[in-house]
């Protein structure tokens, strides 16, 4: 169990609200003509605070594209996205950077740790960007690493850690600013079954004990099983959105 301070969460409050969201990419074909490739079609989605959602779908179905938009790393072609009731389209680059820093913790399939930077400094970096001094940041980072069981690896660089340890460092980094939302794009994609289980238990714990909202992308059913809500994407459309416990298929949001 992670003894992080309990956050005041209002479960049921909409944290993410997406309406009629579309995303297309423009590409040049071999003849130099511009072709438009639409990846997301009229997505409507609401995720409340405290939820644990798994987004599933085959490769190329648009999961990562959706996650990047949710994480304010990318912008939709059309449609609206409200994060904590703020219309993301109206925010400046600086405000978006602040939201990524304060409100969102990212966990990636490829870990995305800073190379040749110790686990401790990797975890401390978001605090530096929040304006906290280096020594204070390191102190807090050391504390988080202790709680994720990595106190003996604080001075290790990413290439001196196992995949599972690297992902724990990434999760520690995602947690350091105590964000209400964690976005994890195939976090167990590069891990073995046992390590995947440990990581998923960690997510489950964070969701249950601290009420952190977790949105997770996976294409594996047994990983999705840890989530409370399952959303399936197919070719840029949500084909189902159901509660994991009840197994009832909800109406497709149109």
Partner 1 sequence: MNLFTIIGEALRALRQNRLRTGLTMLGMIIGVAAVVLMLSIGQGAQTKINQTIAEMGSNLFIVVPGATSSGGFSFGSGSIRTLTIHDAQAIAELPTVGATAPIISGTAQLNYTAKNWSTIITGTTPDYFSVGNWKIESGTTFTESDLRSANRVVVLGSVTAQNLFGGEDPVGKTIRITNRPFLVVGVLMAKGQSLTGRDQDDNIFIPITTSERQITGNQFPGSIRLMLVQCKSADDMDIAEIEITQLLRQRHRIAKGKENDFTVRNLTALADVATGAAKVMSMVLGAIASVSLLVGGIGIMNIMLVSVTERTREIGIRMAIGANQRTILTQFLLEAMMICIMGGLIGLLLGISGAWVVSQVADMLIVITLGMIGLAFLFASAVGIFFGFYPAKKAASLKPVDALRYE
Ligand X SMILES: Nc1ncnc2c1ncn2[C@@H]1O[C@H](COP(=O)(O)OP(=O)(O)O)[C@@H](O)[C@H]1O
- Of 68-97, binders to partner 1 (CB under 8 A) are 68, 71-74, 93-94, 97
22 interacts with ligand X by CB under 6 A: no
Kindly give, in sequence order, each residue whose CB lies less than 8 Å from that of residue 42, ignoring residues fewer than 6 positions away.
20, 21, 22, 79, 237, 254
Q: How far is the CB of 114 from Mg ion (least distance, A)?
A: 22
The CB-of-214 to partner 1 minimum distance in angstroms stands at 17
Asked whether position 32 contacts partner 1 by CB under 8 A, the answer is: no
> Which H helix or E strand runs over 47?
strand 34-48
Half-sphere exposure at residue 245, Cβ-oriented, CA atoms within 13 angstroms: 3
CB of 1 to partner 1, least distance (A): 26
* Shortest distance, position 143 Cβ to ligand X, whole Å: 34
Report how far residue 179's alpha carbon sits from residue 104's, in angstroms, rounded to the nearest whole number: 5
- Running DSSP on this structure, what letter comes out for residue 244? T
Instruction: For residue 64, state whether it binds Mg ion (rule: CB under 5 A).
Output: yes
Helix (H, G, I), strand (E, B) or coil at 32: coil
CB of 64 to partner 1, least distance (A): 9
Q: Is 60 in the site for ligand X (CB under 6 A)?
A: yes
Q: Which is nearer to ligand X, 144 or 217 (CB)?
A: 217
* Nearest position to ligand X, beta carbon: 64
CB neighbours of 51 closer than 8 A, spacing ≥ 6? 15, 213, 214, 215, 228, 229
Choose the stretch contacting ligand X; rule: CB under 6 A; options: 3-11, 55-63, 115-123, 126-134. 55-63
Beta-strand pair 78-83/14-28: antiparallel
Rg over CA atoms, the chain: 18
Q: Site for partner 1 (CB under 8 A): which residue of 49, 125, 196, 218?
A: 125
Give me the residues that bind Mg ion (CB under 5 A), please: 64
Give me the residues that bind ligand X (CB under 6 A), please: 25, 27, 37, 39, 57, 59-65
């Amino acid at each position: 169990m992670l003894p992080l301070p309990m956050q005041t969460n209002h479960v049921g409050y909409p944290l993410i609200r997406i309406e009629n969201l579309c995303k297309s990419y423009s590409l040049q074909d071999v003849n130099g003509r511009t072709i438009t490739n639409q990846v997301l079609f009229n997505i409507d989605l609401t995720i409340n605070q405290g939820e644990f959602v798994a987004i599933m779908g085959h490769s190329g179905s648009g999961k990562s594209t959706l996650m990047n938009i949710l994480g304010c790393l990318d912008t939709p072609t059309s449609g609206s996205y409200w994060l904590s009731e703020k219309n993301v389209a109206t925010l400046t680059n600086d405000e978006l950077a602040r939201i990524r820093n304060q409100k969102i913790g990212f966990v990636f399939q490829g870990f995305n740790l800073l190379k040749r930077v110790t686990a401790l400094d990797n975890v401390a970096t978001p605090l530096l960007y929040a304006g906290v001094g280096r020594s204070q940041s390191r102190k807090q980072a050391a504390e988080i690493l202790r709680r994720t069981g990595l106190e003996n690896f604080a001075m290790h660089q990413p290439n001196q850690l196992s995949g599972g340890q690297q992902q724990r460092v990434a999760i520690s980094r995602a947690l350091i600013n105590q964000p209400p939302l964690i976005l994890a794009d195939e976090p167990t994609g590069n891990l073995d079954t046992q390590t995947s289980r440990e990581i998923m238990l960690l997510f489950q714990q964070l969701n249950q004990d601290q009420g952190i909202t977790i949105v997770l992308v996976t294409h594996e059913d047994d990983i999705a099983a840890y989530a409370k809500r399952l959303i399936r994407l197919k070719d840029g459309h949500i084909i189902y959105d159901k509660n994991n416990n009840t197994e009832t298929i909800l109406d497709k949001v149109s």
